[in-house]
Amino acid sequence: MKLMHKAVNYCFGGKLKMLRKHIKSFSYQRQQEAWQRITKALHSLTLLTLNSQTILHYHRYAIYLRQH
């Protein structure tokens, strides 16, 4: 749960790349779990937020970062 809040805060701060660096220090399985939780949180936010275009952008960006 803490990681999801962190992801959301990082997104609004435009610091998703920094979060990626933090996640890369995790074990492989924990990395996968972290990215799943982050993308799920951002997806949920997209559905809840009026400014969903911005959140959707970060959601796609999180998926992009996860793959690279």
Tens digit of each residue's pLDDT (9 = 90 or more) over 3-44? 666 776 666 666 777 778 888 888 999 988 988 888 887 777
pTM of the model: 0.55
Round the CA-based radius of gyration of the chain to a whole number and report it. Answer: 11
Tens digit of each residue's pLDDT (9 = 90 or more) over 16-25? 777 788 888 8
Angle at 16 between CA 37 and CA 26, to 5 degrees: 55
DSSP 8-state code for residue 13 = T
The domain locations on the chain are: 1-67
Sign for the CA dihedral angle at 37, 43, 44, 48 comes to positive
The gap from C-alpha 23 to its chain's centroid, in whole angstroms, comes to: 10
Tens digit of each residue's pLDDT (9 = 90 or more) over 55-66? 677 777 777 877
